[in-house]
């Protein structure tokens, strides 16, 4: 049978094709560019981040203040023409979106700065700026630090939460000198205050949890993720005057959840891990992370030994074959433990989390993509059939927005044991 296409039919076909192409293009633009950017530089130790801290404080219902801490020692200093000194030239810029999935820029700005005073000095500065983020709503902030001398830039995504009057970013922790505290873990010796967006707040309710959380299960484990009972071990109050709390200390290890309204789960949470955290320096801190490398029998023998330190030393020497190589293995392994603490701390130590576990055993991922509810790591070339990909699903957790749960698969069993065996050969 012959098929005849009239001019009108051809026009309809072309129009339909163009419409489909337009809809495809619109669909492709629904996510902003950061969704397609490899963010592995965030977790690469050799690429020390220029920005070492980001903290957001919702000062008003229409604006939020962003504090950026960065190290000048990471910048390239060049000698300007005709000058005898060296000068760093850099910029901090930002774009604000509704989410990872939106491509509409709600607010943006670029700040260009320079320095000629701190060449070759390990010196940190804090820069702050306001963004137009209105209540109620949640947003994605994309901060870019650009070394203009080397043309090297790093991107740092940060979620902005203004969906409730009780969220964590309505509080700002500062030390006794008024300096911003960028990490959510506090040492026992640190004295601090909490600044509140609500100037009429007279007291904060503090829920204290002293739970000891287990390490992450292997990536192939089929057991369900343990649930957590949010019943606090203790409840006390903190006085607030003019939006500033009394000077505080966290005496015991655990979770401290500060709230203005206990009928919700919103609030700011600060954590007390061991005092050397995130570093691993004491003998008793060396044993627990070995759980990822040892069998149940080996770990229990170390755990119940009268001399754990000697057992840990013996494990590494036996694994390495000699003391010299054991020292190198110990350095490599526990540096990953410390990096995991820096990068992935949540309601428990970073090395205990799913992302921390994968990072310690497999190392920094080559590719990292992130969306609102998922972070994907790839080891090897993307699309290669022998590459390894892990999906971490963002969990809803009242204590932290850094709780990610690995999507476990039985297929991970062989790669896991190969990687563990690599450490133990």
Give pLDDT tens digits for 160-188.
999 999 999 999 999 999 999 999 999 99
CATH code for the domain in which residue 120 is found: 2.60.40.10
User: Do 248 and 131 belong to one domain?
Assistant: no
Report which of 315, 267, 264, 312 is spatially closest to residue 287, judged by C-alpha positions: 312
> How does 110-145 read in b/e, with b if 16+ C-beta sit within 10 Å?
eeeeebeebbeeeeeeeeeeebebebeeebbbbbbb
User: Do 252 and 379 belong to one domain?
Assistant: yes
Whether residue 4 lies inside any domain: the answer is no
Domain boundary among 137, 163, 189: 163
User: Do 314 and 396 belong to one domain?
Assistant: yes
Can you give the residue range of the structural domain that contains 67?
Answer: 11-163
Query: For position 229, what pLDDT does the model report?
Result: 77
User: Do 110 and 258 belong to one domain?
Assistant: no
Query: For position 331, what pLDDT does the model report?
Result: 95
DSSP, res 248:
B
CB count in 10 Å sphere of residue 265: 16
User: Do 257 and 388 belong to one domain?
Assistant: yes
pLDDT at 123 over 80: yes
Provide mean pLDDT across the span 2-24.
42
CB count in 10 Å sphere of residue 365: 25
CB count in 10 Å sphere of residue 256: 25
pLDDT at 1 over 60: no
Which helix (H) or strand (E) segment holds residue 259: the answer is strand 254-259
Judge residue 173's burial from the number of C-beta atoms within 10 Å of its C-beta, 0-12 exposed, 13-18 middle, 19 or more buried. buried
Domain boundary among 103, 128, 163: 163
User: Do 131 and 37 belong to one domain?
Assistant: yes
3-state secondary structure of 255: strand
> What is each CA distance from 381 to 95, 154, 360, in whole angstroms?
29, 21, 20
Bridge partner list, 300: none
User: Do 141 and 179 belong to one domain?
Assistant: no
Whether residue 201 lies inside any domain: the answer is yes
User: Do 107 and 182 belong to one domain?
Assistant: no
Please state whether the predicted TM-score (pTM) of the whole model is above 0.95. no
Query: For position 17, what pLDDT does the model report?
Result: 41
Judge residue 374's burial from the number of C-beta atoms within 10 Å of its C-beta, 0-12 exposed, 13-18 middle, 19 or more buried. middle
User: What is the tens place of the pLDDT at every residue in 57-113?
Assistant: 999 999 999 999 999 988 999 999 999 999 999 999 999 999 999 999 999 999 999
Total domains present in the chain: 2
Q: Cβ distance 368 to 391 under 8 Å?
A: no
Q: Cβ distance 145 to 92 under 8 Å?
A: yes
Query: For position 32, what pLDDT does the model report?
Result: 86
Whether residue 28 lies inside any domain: the answer is yes
User: What is the tens place of the pLDDT at every residue in 180-233?
Assistant: 999 999 999 999 999 999 999 999 999 999 999 999 999 999 887 777 778 899
Domain boundary among 144, 163, 182: 163
User: Do 203 and 325 belong to one domain?
Assistant: yes
Whether residue 3 lies inside any domain: the answer is no
Lowest mean pLDDT among 11-15, 236-240, 255-259, 403-407: 11-15
pLDDT at 417 over 60: yes
Query: For position 107, what pLDDT does the model report?
Result: 98
User: Do 319 and 409 belong to one domain?
Assistant: yes
């Amino acid at each position: 049978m012959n098929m005849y296409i009239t001019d009108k039919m051809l026009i309809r076909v072309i129009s339909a094709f163009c419409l489909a192409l337009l809809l495809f293009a619109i669909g492709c633009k629904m996510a902003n560019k950061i969704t397609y950017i490899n963010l592995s530089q965030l977790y690469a130790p050799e690429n020390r981040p220029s920005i070492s801290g980001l903290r957001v404080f919702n000062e008003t219902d229409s604006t939020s203040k962003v504090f950026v801490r960065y190290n000048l020692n990471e910048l390239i200093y060049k000698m300007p023409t005709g000058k005898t000194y060296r000068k760093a030239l850099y910029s901090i810029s930002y774009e604000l979106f509704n989410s990872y999935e939106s491509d509409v820029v709600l607010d943006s700005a670029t700040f260009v700065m320079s320095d000629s005073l701190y060449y070759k000095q390990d010196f940190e500065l804090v820069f702050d700026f306001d963004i137009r983020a209105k209540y109620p709503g949640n947003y994605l902030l994309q901060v870019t630090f650009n070394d203009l001398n080397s043309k090297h830039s790093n991107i740092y995504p940060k979620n902005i939460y203004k969906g409730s009057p009780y969220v964590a970013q309505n509080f700002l922790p500062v030390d006794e000198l008024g300096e911003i505290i960028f990490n959510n873990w506090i040492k026992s010796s640190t004295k601090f205050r909490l600044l509140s967006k609500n100037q009429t707040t007279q007291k904060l309710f503090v829920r204290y949890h002293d739970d000891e959380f287990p390490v992450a299960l292997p990536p192939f484990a089929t057991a369900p993720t343990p649930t957590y009972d949010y019943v606090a071990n203790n409840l006390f109050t903190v006085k607030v005057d003019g939006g500033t709390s009394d000077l505080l200390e966290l005496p015991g290890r655990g979770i401290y959840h500060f709230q203005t309204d206990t009928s919700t789960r919103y609030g700011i949470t600060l954590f007390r891990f061991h005092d050397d955290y995130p570093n691993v320096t004491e003998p008793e801190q060396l044993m627990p992370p070995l759980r990822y490398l040892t069998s149940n029998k080996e770990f229990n023998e170390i755990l119940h030994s009268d001399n754990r330190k000697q057992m840990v030393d013996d494990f590494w020497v036996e694994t390495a074959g000699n003391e010299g190589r054991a020292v190198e293995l110990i350095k490599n392994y526990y540096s990953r433990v410390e990096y995991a603490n820096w990068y992935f701390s949540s309601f428990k130590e970073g090395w205990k989390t799913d992302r921390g576990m994968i990072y310690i055993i497999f190392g920094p991922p080559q590719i990292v993509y992130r969306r609102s509810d998922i972070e994907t790591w790839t080891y090897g070339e993307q699309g290669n059939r022998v590459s390894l990909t892990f999906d971490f699903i963002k969990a809803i957790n009242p204590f932290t927005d850094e709780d990610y749960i690995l999507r476990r698969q039985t297929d991970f069993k062989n790669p896991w044991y190969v990687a563990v065996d690599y450490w133990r050969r």
